[in-house]
Amino acid sequence: MSTFIDHVKIEIKAGDGGNGAIAFHREKYVSAGGPDGGDGGRGGNIVFRIDEGVNTLLAYRYRHKFVAGNGGDGKGNKIHGASADDLIIPVPRGTIIKDAETGAVIHDMSDGEDFIACRGGRGGWGNRHFATATRQVPMFAKNGTKGEHKIVSLELKMLADVGLIGFPSVGKSSILSRISAARPKIAEYHFTTLSPNLGVVRVHDEAGFVAADIPGLIEGASEGAGLGHDFLRHVDRCRLLLHVVDISCYEGRDPIDDIKTINQELLRYSPALSERPQIIIANKCDILDDELFDVAEFEEFVRENDWELMYVSAATGEGLREMIEKVYDRLQTLPPILTYEAEAVQEEEIVGKQTSIRREGGKFIVEGQWIFNLMNQVNFDDYESLNYFQRVLQKSGVFEQLEAAGCRDGDTVSMYEFEFDYVK
């Protein structure tokens, strides 16, 4: 089985532009041939392109540096240097390109379009461009410019409408294999599924949706326990969560406790994710034992939390068609899949900008045009984007200024209607 890789760091360097040539026309019987140095060629761009045939970043596990070709130098007789080919880096759909140092989003590879991450240098001018009436023999030309250079992180967040979440061995992979063409490996032991699996679910005619089996969620997943920390990011884009529980109680677990535990992990990872719409999928209803499972108590718990409930059996297929129809109808009422906007404001552009801090009504009010601009480009529903925002505040000295103004642990800080409790 191939290794699933969904986060890598690579170095990318566009090609340098070629140098312009210093040359003069030489031809028999022409005594005063003028300057005819050609221009240099353009350096190659670094271009990211979606490859629909892959769903992992495994190709970049051991290859970390990508350099595009340089443009050719110009030559005499006005010969233009060759422009270098662009270097294409194929990535799975849903890959997010980030600045490796700041964590700022550079581009979300979800729209199907190519993205130029580093532009090649421009070719230099040959000396023929510098000839004037008073300077007829220019002995200089212009060098090409350097290509852009970046160190970026690539992070894959799968594009799925629906995410199947829950403890290991509750039947997520089995359900996905029954409702789609996906064929995940299934066996009777925990952590059989070592990578998210995608499947296209057909409803009728051309209508359908994409579902993903998200593996490895256990208690402590948000802090790295099990495999959950690696794969929680793949739930970020899901519009609807199917929370699968095993109501056969075969392994001695309580389905109610399982639901509470998984939702607590979602909350710790991302408060926005914990509020995503859920449908409780009570699997293995074909082997339900009334002595082990209190149906009335379970249904009351689900009602109290305003969730929908469906009983299914991945083994027999019972309830799966009804589940597909319910999921499809629910998706028609939900917003489209999340895409991440580029965070154009870079840390070096804002450090040292003016910040105003005042105490008002028991709160510390922080204001500044650069903070306002930054907040407009931060996705506060995304865990890593929020971390980037905090790093910027730290680096720009805002936290130091707050403490100087008397702010202590537990005090409320307000920034343009965004409030949080200060924790040193």
Give residue-wise pLDDT tens across range 35-93.
999 999 999 999 999 998 887 888 898 899 999 999 999 999 999 999 999 999 999 99
183 and 327 in a common domain: yes
Boundaries of domain holding 220: 162-331
136 and 122 in a common domain: yes
255 and 181 in a common domain: yes
In a domain, 44, yes or no: yes
Number of domains in the chain: 3
Amino acid identity, position 45: N
286 and 207 in a common domain: yes
166 and 108 in a common domain: no
133 and 42 in a common domain: yes
The whole-model pTM stands at 0.67
Q: Is the dihedral of CA 60, 61, 67, 69 positive or negative?
A: negative
104 and 188 in a common domain: no
143 and 15 in a common domain: yes
Mind giving me the DSSP string for 90-121?
A: EE-TTEEEEETTT--EEEEETSS--EEEEPPP
Name the maximum alpha-carbon separation found in the chain. 109
Cα gap 63→90, rounded to integer Å = 13
In a domain, 397, yes or no: yes
pLDDT at res. 159: 82
269 and 120 in a common domain: no
Q: Could you read off the pLDDT tens digit of each residue along the chain, which spans 424 residues?
A: 445 677 899 999 999 999 999 998 877 766 667 899 999 999 999 999 999 888 788 889 889 999 999 999 999 999 999 999 999 999 999 999 999 988 889 999 998 899 999 999 999 989 888 887 777 888 878 888 889 999 999 998 888 899 999 888 888 889 999 998 866 655 454 444 456 778 889 887 778 899 988 875 655 544 544 444 456 777 888 999 999 999 998 778 899 999 999 898 888 888 888 899 999 999 999 998 888 889 999 999 999 999 999 999 999 999 999 999 999 999 999 988 888 787 644 444 444 568 899 998 889 999 988 888 777 666 676 665 677 688 888 888 899 899 888 898 889 999 988 888 888 7
401 and 292 in a common domain: no
Q: What are phi and psi of 272, to 5 degrees?
A: -65, -40
398 and 255 in a common domain: no
How many other CB atoms are there within 10 angstroms of residue 374's CB atom? 23
In a domain, 166, yes or no: yes
Instruction: Yes or no: say if 40 and 74 are a contact pair by the CB < 8 Å rule.
Output: yes
Task: Give the domain CATH number at 297.
Answer: 3.40.50.300
319 and 217 in a common domain: yes
In a domain, 339, yes or no: no
Task: Give the domain CATH number at 413.
Answer: 3.30.300.350
Cα 218-270-54 angle, rounded to 5 deg: 75
pLDDT at res. 348: 42
